Amino acid sequence: MLFGNVLSELADPAAVAGAAVDALAPEGSVVAFAPADRNTATGLRRVEREVVASGGHPGRDAEIYSPALRLWPDAVPTDPGWSFDVAPDLAVPPFQRRLDEAAARGETDEPGEFVNVDVQFAYSILRPDGRRRVDVEASAERCARMAESERHVTDRVNLLAVKLSHDLSEGDNAVYRVGDGSQATDHYLVCTRETALNRDLREAGYGSVVFVENGLVLWNEDEGAYNVVVDDETVVDLVAR
């Protein structure tokens, strides 16, 4: 069942999405899309979390199939959850270019002023049978929880994380939003030096699960978020695409 850019228009989107999950066959899915802007994308995450918390009808186990997997089975995220995927730019049709080139313009008008080729969107896939796209869980013996990052500031830690953005940076150091399902605050992996041992971070796609070994946890006061520095002492392995 598909909800395309509609949940944000409903009075009670969680109730509608929850009813849709309950109406599915066991192997079915609810797929919800929303624009990538902060309000609608975080609104989609709120709906997602409320539906999963309600659990659905007795005997069903509403679960996030993708992309915002919960890697700690006993944890619930409470961060804003602003994440979205990015697809290749749209190609402008030739006839539109010709119309644009032939249009009369004022002194301040620019060619292509009203062309928007960006493709950015948030999405959520929910299932009633408890299945997830990747059956991976974090282990306290190997990983730190993002919920406990405050105690690890200036320490190096291991993390299991879902990559929840493409590169968000405008500078030399790549920045990726990540989560593990326990986070109460935004977390970013910041690659200050790419090596053969951490290249998987860049190459992993949106929604992939990566294992970060020896990342340096820092608090970013300006952004109110945790930065986990990936440098030449850090190893990043792709666990699941």
Q: Could you read off the pLDDT of 90-108 as tens digits, one per residue?
A: 888 887 777 777 666 666 6
**Given this model, what pLDDT does residue 98 score?**
75
Summarize pLDDT for 199-231 with one digit per residue, the tens: 999 999 999 999 999 999 999 999 999 999 999
**pLDDT band at 166; cut points 50, 70, 90:** very high
Between 126 and 113, residue with greater pLDDT: 126
26: cis peptide before it, omega within 30°?
Answer: no
Handedness of CA 71, 135, 44, 23 (dihedral sign): negative
Distance of CA 32 to the CA centre of its chain: 14
Please give the share of the chain, as a percent, with pLDDT higher than 70. 91
**Given this model, what pLDDT does residue 59 score?**
60
Distance, in Å, from the CA atom of 4 to the CA atom of 139, rounded to the nearest integer, reads 36
In CATH, what is the architecture of 146-240? Answer: Beta Barrel (2.40)
* Segments making up each domain of the chain, as ranges: 2-85+119-127, 146-240
| Main-chain dihedrals φ then ψ at residue 3, nearest 5 degrees | -115, 105
| Main-chain dihedrals φ then ψ at residue 211, nearest 5 degrees | -105, 120
**pLDDT band at 240; cut points 50, 70, 90:** very high
Distance, in Å, from the CA atom of 162 to the CA atom of 176, rounded to the nearest integer, reads 10
Cα radius of gyration (the chain): 20
Average pLDDT over residues 52-76: 86
Name the region of 112 (left: φ>0; alpha: ψ -120 to 50; beta: rest).
Answer: left
